[in-house]
Each structure stands twice: as structure tokens, then as C-alpha cells.
Structure 1
Amino acid sequence: FMGRGPNVTRNDDDALLYSARLEMFPFGVPKGVEAESDLAWNPYPKAAIGAAVYSNCDDRANWNRGFTLDGDFRWRGLYSSAAVVWFKNGKSSGLGNALGYKDFCVGSKTASGDPLTFVSRGVQWQVQYVLPPALFPVEGQALEALFRFDWVDPVSPYASGNPFFGGGAGSSGYTAPSNYTDADNAPTQWRLTFGLNWFPTHTQTLRLSFNYQLRREAENVRTSEGFIVGVKNDIAWIQLTAGI
């Protein structure tokens, strides 16, 4: 990987993207493992545990390095998954220099021009259940209920006293988001999603989803008119997914 975004085929430097992942199935590979669901109604509990590490020099001159931990569980129509992601972003040093980032990952700056080292982190938990025939007695079809929780903190200033979680609004280097769509300094947010998935052919290749998402921006935004306290930003959507 070039580490320079999509469709880049030429390597102009040695600042490559590196990633590695390990996944284990302690109880064997489940039926329907390719689906984010237990449409196969595995008769015995099945689980997967995964971990990954990542390193890249991005197009904003930040060295991104971090890890993810994730897992899922499926049994008799129940599917549950959870994941944690953590990244530290800033100027290249140590391992980053050894990976070839030294001349390219000089780190981004705060609004005042100071070097910015920040932490990005998030968690998610999702649970789905394929209704049994007693609750959805339609042969050859399936109906699934879904609930999901997400929380993400894209930018927290790095704090030596709290290196894993980063600092808050009172920490050195903290800059309040200027709007809710700022990709470089997005606000902390959490979401609750409630949904129904209808599988008219009882397969993952054709699915109609109905979802409602409770979305809250948990960080205040500073504008020229003052602070905007976290807003309600709910979403409802219908989605048709078809695969070949």
C-alpha cells in the first residue's frame, strides 16, 4: 500500500502503509461466516476473536499508528459483535522513522501553529437476532431485529498523564470543533441504531433494511457566534442490498 489514498499506483517515497491482522475461531468456523448475521442458525455457540495493528503516514503529515480488537458470537439466530479502535497521530519518531516516515510525517499543527499530537478512539457493540418461525412464520424468508451502539472520539490531545484516552477540553492543545462537519477536528459523538432486516430469500445476498439512528454530538462546537451545545442529529433510512 502506498499510504497516499485510493488509486495511487506509483511509490514516490518510502512512507508505506503497514497493517497486520490475526483472527481466531476457538470453536471452529461457523456456518455463514461471511454474513454479519446468524441466518444459518448455528446449533452450537461459535465465536471469533481478532486483533490488528496499523501504521501509516497520512496526507496531513501525521503518523497514524494504532490497533483494533474485535470479536463476534453467533448461536441459534443470535449474532453479536464488538470492537475497539485506538490510534495515536502526530510527528514521526522511533519506530516511525525506522519505517521510513521521518522526512514525510512532520505532524500537523494546531490553530496557533503548535505541533499537534492527538489520540483517536472508538467502540461499537452490535446485537442482532433472527426471529424464529414461531415469531415470523413465513417459509423461505427471515426477519432480523438489530441494535447497535457506537461511540467515537476522533480528536483528543495527547496527554502524557493519560496516554491511552488523551486529554479533554481543559488540556493543553485542545481546540474546540468549529463545525459539525470538520473532518480534521470532528466532535465526539455517540449513536444508537435500531433496525429490522428482511431477507426475502433467507440469504445475505438480498436484504431490505429499515433503520432509525439516535445520534448525538457530545462535544460543544465553537463558532463566531459562541458555543453550540451538542445537537440532536437523528437519521432514518431504508436500504436495499443485493449481491451477486
Structure 2
Amino acid sequence: MKTAFYIVLLTFGSSFLGYSQNQPLSPNNNTADTSLVQPESSNMNWYIVQDTVKVLIGKVNTQIKKDNKDLYVVTTVDMTQATTKWVDTTIVSIKNFKPIYHSSYNQQRDMVLHFDSKVTGYYFDKKNDSKTTINETTTKPYFDSNFYPQLIRFLPLSEGYQNSIAIFDYNPTTSTGVITATIKNTELAILNLNGQETKVWKVQTTDDISKNQTISTYYIDVTTRKILKHDIAFNGRLMTMEIID
């Protein structure tokens, strides 16, 4: 989903003018509070923003389930200009969020990743009708790049909190492997959404997927740790996702 957000931002943009650690967070160096993880269902509206005008471009549903061993995150995106829905599934260990499986299906491509001693799977480019077999060796621990926005919710957030996160990302057109996501800043704020004020952690992040050119800002309910809003800014363009239920 991270890569998909950047692709949509670029596409629609042309149409609508405190605390740090030396070692990056990883499953082997994980300060997240797993007791905060609860089954959840949320729906968000996805907008592209020009000045003060918001144009609805899609709807995002996220389902979180868990059992004694694993945590499952299923995200379904229904874009207004797409003929099929995008579906991403991520499975991680409930113990330390070590990645197990990720799949992503949309109009542009299908991708499946199995995380073990190697990262295996495939990438099918539907535009070019080409399939690439994935067989990547890694030398250090990491989180799935598609899971780290969820990971942020469960970290020991506080005023000025900063950190780096080791993530694995597969991209056949750029680079593949273990890269870095960065929490640049965290602050306590009041979010006014749908006429309701909520105390939130405002967490600003960036990552090597976009060569640190895209800034994501998450607004996380202090009490429930639910993501209420997500802003994505790149090169003067802005998208935002806002919870509706």
C-alpha cells in the first residue's frame, strides 16, 4: 500500500493542480506494546487536496484480526476511477511483528511475498504481462514495509519521539532490500474531524521508498491508538485519508 499511495499521488497530482535509538527498530529490537493490538475494523475516505478543495478518489477499509500466534491486516481500497478493488494482506508474528506473508493485488500488478530465511514470491506486471520470481537474501532483521504504519501506533509515543525503522521493500523498477523508515517528529495535538475534537499523537514520517521525498503524517488517537487521519505530502501535492467509522 505504501507504494500505491505514492503512485496515486503522482497520477492525480497532474490532474488536480525527543527520543532516538542508535539501532533501527526491528523484530529483534522492538519497543512496541503488543498489548495495544486489538481486533479492529475501520473505514476511511481518501481525498486528493488542492488548496482547500478535497476531491474523493477512493475508500479504504482496514481489517485487523489476531490469534495466539499471528496478526492479520487486510486492506481493501475501492478507487473511484478503478474497475477492480485493491486488496493487500499482511501477516506478522503477534510476538514481535516479524513479517510472515504479504500479498497485494490491484489493476497494475499482483505481488506475493513469503518471509523466511529468504524473501520469496513473485511480481506480476499486468501492463507488460511479465512475471518476475522473487528470491532475495537479507542479512539483517526488518519489518514488512507495508506493516510499519501499523507498527507506529503501538510504539511508546511521546513529545519529540523520533526513531528509525528497518523495513523490507520490493520494487522491480528501483531498489529492493532492507531500507529505512524514519519517524521525524511526534507531538501531542488536538484533531478536529467531523466536528469532534480528539487528542492525538501527530507523527511525521518519511522513508527510503520515496527517497525521503514524501512526508506522511499520522494522527493517532491517544486513548485507542486508532489512526484517525493520514496525510501524504509530496512535491507540493497532498492526499489525505480520514476515518468515517
TM over 0.5: no
Structure with bigger helix share is 2
TM-score, normalised with respect to structure 1: 0.30
TM-score, normalised with respect to structure 2: 0.30
